[in-house]
């Protein structure tokens, strides 16, 4: 079954109460106004491989140590 994204969104909207339909509409309007910022990935490819392997290993270790910790009292 090949259904377009627009058709799928419309199908989902039909199943929603009107107040949620309004929220989706406002969200869609907001997305249209969003300015895309940043650098395209294609332009960043020239930096691929420029970090020394030792630095990458160090970053990997720090991320694994610090990012896998959960502080249940943080919030």
Rounded to whole angstroms, the Cα distance separating 49 from 51 reads: 6
pLDDT of residue 37: 87
> Whats the size of the chain, residue-wise?
75
pLDDT of residue 63: 86
pTM above 0.95, yes or no: no
DSSP string, 4-60: -HHHHHHHHHHTS-HHHHHHHHHHHHHHHHPPP-S--HHHHGGGTT-S-HHHHHHHH
pLDDT of residue 54: 94
Q: What is the pLDDT of residues 11-34, one digit of tens each?
A: 999 999 999 999 999 999 999 998
- Per-residue pLDDT band at 36 (split at 50, 70, 90): confident
Whether 3 has a pLDDT exceeding 80, the answer reads: no
């Amino acid at each position: 079954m090949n259904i377009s994204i627009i058709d799928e969104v419309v199908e989902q909207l039909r199943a929603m109460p009107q107040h949620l339909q309004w929220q989706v509409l406002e969200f869609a309007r907001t997305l249209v106004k969003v300015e895309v910022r940043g650098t395209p990935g294609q332009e960043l490819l020239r930096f691929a491989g420029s970090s020394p392997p030792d630095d990458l290993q160090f970053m990997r270790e720090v991320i694994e140590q610090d990012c896998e910790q959960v502080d249940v009292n943080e919030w």
